[in-house]
Each structure stands twice: as structure tokens, then as C-alpha cells.
Amino acid sequence: MTSDDRRRQILSLLSSQGIVHVATLSQTFGVSTVTIRTDLSELEYGGKLKRIHGGAVSVKELVVPSLPKRMRRNTRAKDAIGHAAAGLVTDGETILVGSGSTTLAFVNALNPKTNLSIITDEPGIINYVTQRLPNVTPICTGGILGCGYHYYGPLLAASLANVHVDKAFLGADGFERHLGFLAERKVTAEAKKEFMKHSDRTVILMDATKVGASRFFVPFAMPGEIDLIIMDSDPHGIVATSVRAAGGRTHVIEVCT
């Protein structure tokens, strides 16, 4: 098989799966991982895909999909992250929860808790709590409801003016070593920054696929600005290395899936 044939098949797999992994492609085509990385680099140079840590995603995947679609991805990892984070919450507490599929998995894990109040900018979380968590009080921020499926803007900030809680739980659309935690849109990054202003501790909930996800996203926090990062795994210790370089109070927890 020529390199051109192999690359066409890689693109075909990417089209059907949305993501491909170097190790799997190496086994599928019977070539070295170095050869596969070269293929992916050439395809990225041609604008056919976007490299991520350990593989690649299609160009269309640079746009974060809808919440229901995201909830069907990496469910095992997100559930493990959510259950670990739920252990930080006590009965009767009020918490801030940002938008995202991993934060929704976290909210689901709060089911055994009682007398909680959740302040969120995510209508999906509001609906979930209303329908499934009778012991939790949902509180929605103000703001404009945009294409990112969450509220944002000056009204969001105004609605939080008199709010201060112990913990904020936020998701991330990506992480880059020198850029920190990333959101797909500027308004999403600004909403996350606003949540951080109103809490004593910020906890990031992020699965391993977000590491190196996109340099085109918008930074909202550097590792040293976060108190705790909960992941299913930290590929090659990239996040932990960044945390150590930043110094400060940040800790990384990897949970078993």
C-alpha cells in the first residue's frame, strides 16, 4: 500500500469515527507509529485534519458539538471524573457549575446529596436537575443564550454580583502546555473567568482527550490559577508538568476508569 492510499483510508476512518489514534492506525496498517505520525502531519498540513495528542480529529471536530452528542463520548471517563468530584461536595452546600458534558456527568453523580444548590449557566444542567435531582435546587444565571448552549455576557456577571461560594466546577474544551485551559469561544472563556471570580476554589473537570485539543481555542486559566484538576488520565504527565512549572497551589488527580 502506498502512502497516498494509506492516507486516503485514514481520512475515510476519520470521516466515519470523528477521531483516530496513532496506535490503532499503526496496528491496522502494519506500519510504525512514526510512519502514522508522518501521515497525520502531512494531512494536517494539507488542512485535512487536526492533530491531537495520540491521534487526530476531523477538521469539523474543531467545533465543539452539542451537549447531547458530547454526553455520548468518553462516558466512562466522564462518569469517573464526575464521581471523584462529587466527593468534594457536602450536603447543604451551594456550588457554581459551568457548562459542559463533563460537568453534567458531575451533576449526575450528586444524586445522593441533599439540600444542595447549584448555580449554573447551562440550561441542560438546569433541566437535568429539575427532572432528576429532587434534592437539589437549580439556580440559573442571567445572560444571553448563545450557540454555545450556555448563558453569557454582562447579565451573567450582574446575576453573580452578590454570589460567593466555596467551589466552582468548570469543564475545559482543551489544554495546551503554554496556553493553559481553553474554551472554544471567547464568550465561553469569559463566562468561566466570571465563575472563578465568585469562588474560593476552582476545580477543572477534564478528560484526557482535551489535552492538546486545539490551539485555536481561547485561554481562560493557567494551571497555577486552578486549585484542583480531576482527569481520567494525564497523557505523558503534560498537565502535571505544566502545573509544577507554574508553581502555586494546584493539584492534579487522575481517576481510574
What confidence tens digit (pLDDT) does each residue in 169-181 have?
Answer: 999 999 998 889 9
3-state secondary structure 26-92: HHHHCCCHHHHHHHHHHHHHCCCEEEECCEEEEHHHHCCCCHHHHHCCCHHHHHHHHHHHHCCCCCC
Asked if residue 215 has pLDDT above 60, the reply is no
pLDDT confidence of residue 17: 81
Q: Cα separation of 161 and 7, whole Å?
A: 53
- What's the rounded mean pLDDT across residues 106-127? 94
Query: What are the tens digits of pLDDT across the range 11-25?
Result: 999 888 878 899 999
Q: Cα separation of 195 and 170, whole Å?
A: 8
User: Can you give the pTM of this predicted structure?
Assistant: 0.74
Asked if residue 151 has pLDDT above 70, the reply is yes
Q: Any idea which of 32-41, 51-60, 156-165, 199-208 has the lowest mean pLDDT?
A: 51-60
Rg (CA), the chain: 19
Query: Among 239, 122, 100, 232, which Cα is nearest to 181's?
Result: 239
| Average of per-residue pLDDT values in the chain | 88
**At 51, is the pLDDT very low, low, confident or very high (cuts 50, 70, 90)?**
confident
For a pLDDT cut of 70, what percent of the chain falls above it? 90
Query: What are the tens digits of pLDDT across the range 182-201?
Result: 988 788 899 999 999 999 99
**At 69, is the pLDDT very low, low, confident or very high (cuts 50, 70, 90)?**
low
pLDDT confidence of residue 57: 78
pLDDT confidence of residue 73: 65
For a pLDDT cut of 90, what percent of the chain falls above it? 59
